[in-house]
Structure 1
Amino acid sequence: MRWTLQPKPDASIIKKLSQALNVDIIIASLLVQRGIETFDQAKKFFRPSFEDLHDPFLMKDMDFAVSRIEKAITQGENIMVYGDYDVDGTTSVALVSSYLKTLYTQIATYIPDRYDEGYGVSYKGIDYAHDNDISLIIALDCGIKAIEKVAYAKSKGIDFIICDHHRPGDQLPDAVAVLDPKREDCDYPYKELCGCGVGFKLIQALAVGQGQTIKDLVPYLDLVATAIGADIVPVTGENRVLAYYGLQVINTNPRIGFKAMISNVNKESLTITDVVFIIAPRINAAGRMKHGLHAVNLLTEENMETALQYAAEIELYNSERKDADKKITEEALTQIQSNREEGKNTTVVYEENWHKGVIGIVASRLTETYYRPTLVFTKSGEKLAASARSVKGFDVYNALDACSDHIEQFGGHKYAAGLTLLEEQYESFKQKFEEVVSSTIDKKLLVPEISVDMQIELEQITPKFYRILKQFGPYGPGNMTPVFITKELKDTGYAKCVGADEKHLKCRVEKNGKTIGCIGFNLGEKYNLIAKEQFFKAVYTIDENEWNGEVSLQLKLKDIN
């Protein structure tokens, strides 16, 4: 692990902010590191407001999208809400379809089958629309590269509205409206919305014509917050406002489907991290193991009994997903170890029988293990399909773009992408991908980095300090949980390895007469560094530990040295 201490911001700015907010220097310094330098900026950060949301009509083509939907409703057309099978796609479909159903009844939903149709807009989906007299498709979280498919739909008399957040190619589809803040000609002030966020801007624009305000749309924000967390978009600007209020909905008045999913979760309130690790995998499991429409059905269900049945089915899919994920990860690790080629800057594995629904998770696990840009391939019909994951700081989308001569189709983001290619292209692609990554990656990115905000002492960790830190949430890219370093720590003598295979480290550390409990997940092998009263330094986050009804602060160790 590389420990990188963030540069210390300008001391005069920190002091000024500390006085303006009446907070200590550490809190002020953390804020300045996040680009917050004034009282007003801090107020926006700590008290997110709906007033900070942008006018949806600032998004290019929004006026076209709204007038086409209003025309469809006036003329009694059938509308299909179409979305990808992951969390962002299924929450988007649930969001837009449930809102439209409050205005109009002739709304169908469609999620492509991961195995039969693959990612994005499909010919099969368009044919289904044509067979069912649907003349308008609203595509969510996909479609920005569907040039041929949108043209095919047009030839059948079907219009498209695209709501996407992926990077466009050189050409845009010939749709009635293409809503994507990443369009080069789109002046929308915030570029980092997820697919469900773009869908939310669409219903926000439609609400204007209905005489509704943002307050009328608050119940939909549980879906938006879940998508923001699951899609790993920055939790800054508009996303922070949407996530903040969405979490309030999840914790106070969630939709029936959420209630059913979290009915067995014994937590007073869920954080964005809980949403990512508890709700998102279950929504995702439907599309991975069965069909994404199961997730949409659960998220739009209004009867608790039915929702509990759906949730139980999805729980089963999630359990199957975990088993498949574990098995394939083990097989992939074995394959890598037996083919280990020294000096490689990429990890690329392939097995034709691997479950297509979990290769993305496996790619993430391999990236964690070997810390290389990673691709996991499986057979998908006549072609090979892969999920790509990257390491912090390296743009895998650009790397794939440089290999496009060997690829049939690809799309995605900086850190995660998907692609398909012909089987005979596999070896040449693999070679080219290694060449591209090797010639463009900064080698230090191949060593995992822990970014440390600042050095503090144990006596500075007080309940008041932690209460303010909690208000920095919701956390995520662009606003990560603060990481601290403390030097010359000593274990009080009770350190031990815990958990299955004694993989985790539990201890209590002391410095200058102050002690505090610690847990270090997957740090069991570092026990020898702290045994026998040796001094050591640690990087950690701070959280609460609940034990026998007692709540105390603890250090969540990320690494020790």
Structure 2
Amino acid sequence: MIHINNTKIKVPMPELKFRKRHQGVFDALRERGCSNIVSIIAANRTNDVSPRAQQDLLKPSITDMDFWKLKDIDIAADRILLAKQRGEYISLATDFDVDGISSAVLMKKALVEYMGFDEDKVNIDVNYRMEIGYGFSKAAMELMFEKAGDNPPTLVITADQGSNDSVTAGLYKERMASLGYDYADVIVTDHHDIDEGNTCPEALAFINPRRPDDDFEDPTICGCMVALLVMSAARAHMVNEGVLPEDSPNLGELLMYACLATVADCVSLKSGINRFVIRRGLVDINNEVIPAWTVLKRKVNKPADMITAQDLAFKLGPAINADSRTGGDGSNAINFLMAKTVDEANFYFEELTSKNNRRKDIELSMLEAALADASEQYYEKGMRGLSVYLPNGSHGIHGIVASRIKERFNCPVIVFSPSDVNEKDHPERHITGSGRCIEELSIIDIVKKEILPTCPAIKAGGHPAAMGMTITLKQFPQFQKLFDLNVKKDSVKAGMSDSDFYPTVKIDHLIKDGSLRVLQGMGLLEEQKKLEPYGQRFEAPVFGINGRFSRANPTRTGEHMKLHFIDSLGHEHSAMCFFYGRQPWLSILEVGQEYTFAVSVNYNNFEGKMGMLIEGIAEGFNNISR
């Protein structure tokens, strides 16, 4: 049982379970000279023993990357050059999340500061999440025209969206023709899954590494990285054509925006390209090359320490997303990233922080209702594909709630909320859903291939780990049944059993006996850092430690708690437990009893030493299954 507000909710007690270790990878890294800890962490996350895979993990590089392999990128580069020569108005039409916001800022900086476009002729058109939703839709197009006034854009470049919006591209060209324009084009840059058979024919150029006919080596890059590669191709083309001098700066510094987007968009961090982007971007972020990064360092209390991928994922990313999640248009986020002074960046960061605090309040209320519903589905109905409708929910926030529920039950989850909160419930009411999936399955395949043929959606899109969709309220009961049915069916195909639909804390290594001395200094943390960044598909390591629970101290706010335990060598350790009332293992703790503590380690900036975070607890010593 856990407590959220005044509600008791039954959730599973996570099992501590060793990660499967690939002995070949472990041996290869040890032969290379890597430490035992580094070799363990890597061998627990990949089965690729090739030298290239080792390089991707330890020293990722993009030296061999060829952006010209992206289909249509040459067409896009040529059209962007033409827009410069004509002095055209351009719309940067992007999604509203961190990936889309970062893409918008990156493209505007690339065009204006690196390629010499007129700043007043390059407009950012971020989708208004709460009113328009995802995609380059007709509503998004109408808002773009409204904002443009007497100067409609003759070139639209999308980012992080557009793959399945060819119809809107056609409507845009028709509108421009009716206004008397001889030319008007759409360049689609995206990274989301593409509807089967779709070629986005109304777009002049369609750049997406997930295209079936694409030759680019990595389909897992984020939308902002796709946008950066398109801008890089345009710059290279301008140099080749003599429009820009040969010594004009490349766009390497803009990798810091792709770094932020790569972290926040939950793309695979097994990818060498994605790992390089984050590592290289963090260098510029920590060098504070723009005022936004100076403010970020101050706000996360790291004046002397380094900003990490975790800071971007859990501190800046949610604040940027909160701008649109709470009804904003994304302008605060854009202004923060484009601020020219520290004071300006600080002002917009405070705005984002205020919105994020509001988002947290709404999220907790939604989570209370959604978890209670999901718990009933899981325990009483035996469902493993969990779909929840929240009549009072906010569709700007339900994606976060879906993630929280997925973590609690280790089941694919879709949370639906009304598209229009002011509209009363009726059968044709539009409800939007945000889904999150477990690693073994693909939520986009389950929905698009198995469900939509018999329960068609108004729209749906995404990728294997996350998706969004819109259906009518009357469809929800049918969808709920089909989602559970097809999750179970696909799980059988994937070789899963029902016991796999249960939360686990994956343990990399049990530290015990003489090895416990590694916990006394910074050695463990230093070894762990050699494999950063951690994230999607390459999660941060968790270690097991046997100990006797000795005491607990609530923090000043009372929300969190510091737990103390004594290991077999008699050393006392402390570990933070955030929101301890929401942890199912709280009731099993007794002073003096033996437990296996699952902990992650980080740098404790306040105490200047290695810190621990509680990830899970099991009764008894060595209570980790295989």
Map Cα deviations across residues 462-486 of structure 1 (whole Å, 9 max, x no partner). Answer: 5334312212111112332223334
Q: Structure 2 vs 1, CA of residues 217 and 538 (structure 1 numbering), >3 Å: closer, same or farther?
A: same
**What TM-score results when the alignment is normalised by the length of structure 1?**
0.90
2:277 pairs with one of 209, 224, 242: 242
User: Any conservation in 2 of the 1:144–1:178 contact (CA below 8 Å)?
Assistant: yes
Q: Structure 2 vs 1, CA of residues 426 and 527 (structure 1 numbering), >3 Å: closer, same or farther?
A: closer
Shift of 1:551: 1.8
1:9 aligns to 2:22 (yes or no): yes
- Local SS of the residue matching 1:309: helix
Q: Structure 2 vs 1, CA of residues 550 and 69 (structure 1 numbering), >3 Å: closer, same or farther?
A: closer
Structure 1 residue runs of 5 or longer lacking an equivalent are: none
Give 1:433's aligned residue: 483
2:191 pairs with one of 159, 165, 188: 165
Give 1:542's aligned residue: 601
The residue type paired with residue 46 of structure 1 is L
Give 1:226's aligned residue: 260
User: Any conservation in 2 of the 1:392–1:445 contact (CA below 8 Å)?
Assistant: no
1:403 aligns to 2:451 (yes or no): yes
State the alpha-carbon separation in 2 of the partners of residues 403 and 137 from structure 1: 33
The residue type paired with residue 118 of structure 1 is G
- Local SS of the residue matching 2:440: coil
The residue type paired with residue 111 of structure 1 is V
State the alpha-carbon separation in 2 of the partners of residues 531 and 538 from structure 1: 13
State the alpha-carbon separation in 2 of the partners of residues 276 and 417 from structure 1: 19
- Local SS of the residue matching 1:473: coil
Matched residues, percent identical? 24
Shift of 1:56: 1.1
User: Any conservation in 1 of the 2:547–2:594 contact (CA below 8 Å)?
Assistant: yes
Give 1:95's aligned residue: 106
Shift of 1:186: 0.4
Give 2:222's aligned residue: 194
Q: Structure 2 vs 1, CA of residues 221 and 126 (structure 1 numbering), >3 Å: closer, same or farther?
A: same
Counterparts of residues 46-445 of structure 1 (less than 5 Å): 46-51=58-63, 54-102=65-113, 103-105=116-118, 106-127=121-142, 128-129=144-145, 132-157=151-176, 158-170=184-196, 171-174=198-201, 175-209=203-237, 210=239, 216-235=250-269, 236-267=271-302, 268-289=305-326, 290-335=328-373, 341-381=380-420, 382-401=429-448, 402-404=450-452, 405-406=454-455, 407-441=457-491, 442=496, 443-445=498-500
Shift of 1:420: 0.6
Map Cα deviations across residues 290-309 of structure 1 (whole Å, 9 max, x no partner). Answer: 11233223322324433333
Equivalent pairs, count: 554
Give 2:618's aligned residue: 560
Q: Structure 2 vs 1, CA of residues 213 and 519 (structure 1 numbering), >3 Å: closer, same or farther?
A: farther
* Deviating more after overlay: 182-191 vs 251-260: 251-260
Map Cα deviations across residues 345-379 of structure 1 (whole Å, 9 max, x no partner). Answer: 23322233322211112222233344432222222
Map Cα deviations across residues 9-29 of structure 1 (whole Å, 9 max, x no partner). Answer: 336x645643432x4334334
Shift of 1:532: 5.3
Q: Structure 2 vs 1, CA of residues 322 and 15 (structure 1 numbering), >3 Å: closer, same or farther?
A: closer
**What TM-score results when the alignment is normalised by the length of structure 2?**
0.81
**What RMSD, in angstroms, separates the aligned Cα atoms of the two structures?**
2.9
Counterparts of residues 453-532 of structure 1 (less than 5 Å): 453-457=508-512, 458-461=516-519, 463-486=522-545, 489-491=546-548, 494-496=550-552, 498-499=554-555, 504=561, 506-512=563-569, 516-521=573-578, 522=580, 526=585, 531=590
User: Any conservation in 2 of the 1:496–1:527 contact (CA below 8 Å)?
Assistant: no
Shift of 1:254: 4.1
Map Cα deviations across residues 365-417 of structure 1 (whole Å, 9 max, x no partner). Answer: 23334443222222214511111122342322122112113211101122211
The residue type paired with residue 454 of structure 1 is H
The residue type paired with residue 152 of structure 2 is D
State the alpha-carbon separation in 2 of the partners of residues 64 and 212 from structure 1: 21
Map Cα deviations across residues 237-274 of structure 1 (whole Å, 9 max, x no partner). Answer: 10101100111111112422343455432112211111
Map Cα deviations across residues 199-258 of structure 1 (whole Å, 9 max, x no partner). Answer: 111122223234678974233222111111111111221010110011111111242234
Runs of 4+ in structure 1 deviating by more than 6 angstroms, as ranges, are 212-215, 337-340, 500-503
State the alpha-carbon separation in 2 of the partners of residues 379 and 555 from structure 1: 37
Q: Structure 2 vs 1, CA of residues 501 and 95 (structure 1 numbering), >3 Å: closer, same or farther?
A: same
The residue type paired with residue 518 of structure 1 is A
User: Any conservation in 2 of the 1:89–1:196 contact (CA below 8 Å)?
Assistant: yes
State the alpha-carbon separation in 1 of the partners of residues 221 and 502 from structure 2: 30
- Local SS of the residue matching 1:156: helix
- Local SS of the residue matching 1:353: coil
State the alpha-carbon separation in 2 of the partners of residues 386 and 15 from structure 1: 45
1:449 aligns to 2:501 (yes or no): no
Map Cα deviations across residues 63-114 of structure 1 (whole Å, 9 max, x no partner). Answer: 1110111111112221111100111111111111121112201211101212
Map Cα deviations across residues 101-157 of structure 1 (whole Å, 9 max, x no partner). Answer: 122012111012123222110223334348533111100000111121122223234
Structure 2 residue runs of 5 or longer lacking an equivalent are: 1-13, 177-183, 240-244, 421-428, 620-626
Shift of 1:337: 6.4
Map Cα deviations across residues 417-441 of structure 1 (whole Å, 9 max, x no partner). Answer: 1111123222222222222223333
State the alpha-carbon separation in 1 of the partners of residues 486 and 51 from structure 2: 46
1:551 pairs with one of 609, 616, 619: 609
The residue type paired with residue 554 of structure 2 is V
User: Any conservation in 2 of the 1:490–1:511 contact (CA below 8 Å)?
Assistant: yes
State the alpha-carbon separation in 2 of the partners of residues 393 and 380 from structure 1: 30
Q: Structure 2 vs 1, CA of residues 323 and 16 (structure 1 numbering), >3 Å: closer, same or farther?
A: closer
State the alpha-carbon separation in 2 of the partners of residues 513 and 38 from structure 1: 42
State the alpha-carbon separation in 1 of the partners of residues 248 and 222 from structure 2: 19
State the alpha-carbon separation in 1 of the partners of residues 411 and 311 from structure 2: 27
User: Any conservation in 1 of the 2:544–2:599 contact (CA below 8 Å)?
Assistant: yes
